[in-house]
Amino acid sequence: MKILQSKHYKPRRIISERHINGDYHLQSQSIDERLNADNHPFEGLIGAMMASINFRGDDIVIKKEFLKDFVQCTDYSTAHYNGQTGIFYAGELCYYHPEYEFFLLLNEDLSNEYDKTIIEAGFYSVIRLGYDNQKADNLAKIREFFDRYLSKYTSQDAKISLLLKEGQDLVFKTHSIKPLSLDLNTMYNDDFLPVHRKIKDELTQSNKGVVLLHGVAGSGKTNYIKWLTAQVPDKNFIFVPNNLIGALAEPQFMSMLIDNKNSVLVLEDCENYIAERVGGGNTSDVVSTILNIADGILSDVLECQFICTFNADLMDIDHALLRRGRLIAEYQFTTLSVEKANQYLASQGKDIVVTEPKTLAEITNINEVHYQSEKNKGNFGFIS
């Protein structure tokens, strides 16, 4: 289909002002001549012809298989190049739906505010929808069209935000991370499965509460949280480094959370900050802030949840965090049982059998050569 030859196109001229030799000159040019030198000609053409809805930055996509119901517009063909990936891709595509009489502007690049470049088989990014605004039933047709063909894109990569300090300011830096391969059935003890289901359901469906994960080092707490970020894609996971946990009580951080609602704040190795409150101080302020954000007045405004990990005894943790209705789940990670450890090793094709409980870190790295300086075993004494 050629848009310029269709019933939707009416010849138009563009008047532009140019400054030449100190004088201003008006220049008249037909729109099709003007767009011939444009990197986004379809967008200029649709914008000049009809009303449109801009989806740029909203992560709206259409499956390529749906385009069988459309007719491709062939007036222009543009190519873009991404120097970071070395990929050439269609910079702009235009499709027309004969039944709805809508135009869709598409792009192969699915990039969003987090990712540099995403080109994923099976999807096009939707940039703009063009429609004739003189038709009375447009709103109902657009809603029907959206439900039938368009959807919100969720990247296969998990995303995390890091709380950092630049100068005197706190900032969030967001990065994508490749999905972590993790099998709860073989890498964790059986009693953790119902706890995980509870955690996932509450993070997905609710917007308040605290998760407490504790236990021996190397038992898989961090791996689980990294994997969890991809299981709850609608939440923004914000990792707070240990040296910035005290910043949670700062007014600037509260302002940042207002712009990042519906987030999950992850505090790792935070036992020094969530210990039982005695004598006030910064630690007491952090606990109070967590309680207020997770289940207090601020919870209705910020809609944030917490995942806290620590190695200390649960009895040393502030008991206000354990209150029913506030606590989503609490789980103590231990070494894997002998049966579970051998089950994991067999699933990985390793011809190794262990005879005592092991941590997840120990069995996943069981073939690693371990280098450690030997202690001096020489005799101690005096030489006469």
**pTM of the complete model beyond 0.75:** no
User: Is 339 a residue whose pLDDT tops 70?
Assistant: yes
- In percent, the amount of the chain with pLDDT more than 70 equals 82
Place 115 in a pLDDT band, splitting at 50, 70 and 90.
very low
Give me the DSSP letters along 96-132: EETTTTEEEEEES----SS-S----TTEEEEEEEEE-
CA 154, chain centre distance (Å): 8
For the chain, the distance separating the N- and C-terminal CA atoms, rounded to the nearest angstrom, is: 104
Q: What is the pLDDT of residue 114?
A: 44
Place of tokens 């289940």: 295
Of 222 and 279, the one with more pLDDT = 222
Joined tokens for residue 142: 């657009």
Between 224 and 120, residue with greater pLDDT: 224
**Alpha carbon distance 312, 234 (integer Å):** 31
**Distance set, CA 132 to CA 14, 67, 151, 360 (Å):** 21, 21, 22, 60
Closest CA to 232 of 259, 257, 266: 266
d(CA 20, CA 23): 5
Indicate the domain borders of the chain: 3-152, 158-333
Average pLDDT over residues 253-280: 85
Report pLDDT for 33.
65
Euclidean distance between CA atoms 149 and 96, whole angstroms = 13
Share of the chain above pLDDT 90, in %: 30
C-beta separation of 111 from 120 below 8 A: no
DSSP type of residue 336: B
Choosing among 3.40.50.300, 3.40.50.1100, 3.90.76.10, 1.10.10.60, the CATH entry for 158-333 is 3.40.50.300
Q: How far is CA 328 from CA 76, 207, 212, 317, 324, in A?
A: 55, 11, 8, 16, 8
Output 285 or 19, whichever has higher pLDDT.
285
Q: How far is CA 127 from CA 46, 61, 68, 112, in A?
A: 12, 9, 19, 12
Average pLDDT over residues 140-147: 95
Residue 73 pLDDT = 93
Give the whole-angstrom CA distance, residue 23 versus residue 2: 39
User: Helix, strand or coil for residue 236?
Assistant: strand
Rounded-to-10 torsion of CA 134, 47, 131, 126: -160
Q: Give the residue among 188, 190, 222 at the shortest CA–CA distance from 360.
A: 188
